[in-house]
Amino acid sequence: MRCLIVEDSRLARQELKHLLEAFPEIDLVGEAENAEQALELIDSLKPELLFLDIQIPGKDGFELLESLDEAPAVVFTTAYDQYALKAFDYNALDYLQKPIQKDRLTAAIEKVTASARVESTPSSDATPLAFSSQVFVKDGERCWFVKLSNIRLFEIDGSYTRIHFSDQTPMIPKTLNQLEMRLDPLSFFRANRQQIINLKAIQSIEPWFSGGLKLTLSCGTEVEISRRQASKFKKLTSL
């Protein structure tokens, strides 16, 4: 698995590199000491995993992830414990507090490799769905049989995905990547790292910062699309 270390401390980078030598399944392809370098390396090297410090120059680790249309798997590394809950809102696979201990790193890499196996293993429920399909949704003791065309929005909520339809917002134990593989790309669009929208649920569109777009859905929810995704959106929806 190709990985990138994003850490402003040279000593911390050296220590993590030394620890990673014990894990042949991890291929370290680069290092960045600030957000600008990290963005360039993520774009050019396409790592599958980030070891990401939270407090880095330029942007913090959370802002860095928010600026990516599609983020690699993430293990946060930090000297502080107060960001742990927020880290898992960003779908982090683990949260390592510095100085990093080998047993904790081992556990984190086991989570990473297990997650990669799940993502890459074909499953019986990977059949593409038509826009007119009806899907079964279960959240706790509640169940629904809902038309896919009535689902306005899919969005990450911790390690789950929240589904928006009618006045309901159940959560299911699926990733956006798993769902995106089954959805009709002419009807559903990956707006950003955290949201997939139903194109027919768009009520209005307006220009947004840095060449992006802001969409308002029929329910009133606002969704921001980055410049890169805005270009894909225009190609998909233009005459």
At residue 10, does pLDDT exceed 70?
yes
Show the tokens assigned to 165: 């339809």
Q: Do 113 and 146 lie in a common domain?
A: no
pLDDT digits (tens, 9 = 90+) for 132-158: 999 999 999 899 999 999 999 999 887
| Average pLDDT of the residues in 2-30 | 95
Among 74, 91, 120, residue at a domain's last position: 120
Q: Is the pTM of this model over 0.75?
A: no
- For residue 129, tell me if it sits in a domain: no
> What is the spatial distance between Cα 148 and Cα 211, in angstroms, rounded to a whole number?
30
In the chain, the percentage of residues whose pLDDT exceeds 70 is: 96
- For residue 88, tell me if it sits in a domain: yes
- For residue 128, tell me if it sits in a domain: no
CATH code for the domain of 148: 2.40.50.1020
Q: Which residue has the higher pLDDT, 117 or 181?
A: 181
Residues 6 or more apart whose Cβ sits within 8 Å of residue 204: 215, 216
Q: What is the pLDDT of residue 121?
A: 55
- For residue 47, tell me if it sits in a domain: yes
Q: Do 147 and 182 lie in a common domain?
A: yes
Q: pLDDT band at 115, cuts 50/70/90?
A: confident
Q: What is the pLDDT of residue 91?
A: 74
At residue 163, does pLDDT exceed 70?
yes
Q: What is the pLDDT of residue 227?
A: 81
Q: Do 9 and 79 lie in a common domain?
A: yes
Q: Measured between alpha carbons, how far is residue 178 from residues 90, 149, 154, 157, 224 in Å?
A: 17, 18, 12, 15, 22
Q: What is the pLDDT of residue 83?
A: 81
CATH code for the domain of 65: 3.40.50.2300
At residue 125, does pLDDT exceed 70?
no
Number of domains in the chain: 2
pLDDT digits (tens, 9 = 90+) for 182-238: 999 999 999 988 899 999 999 999 998 888 899 999 999 999 998 888 888 999 998
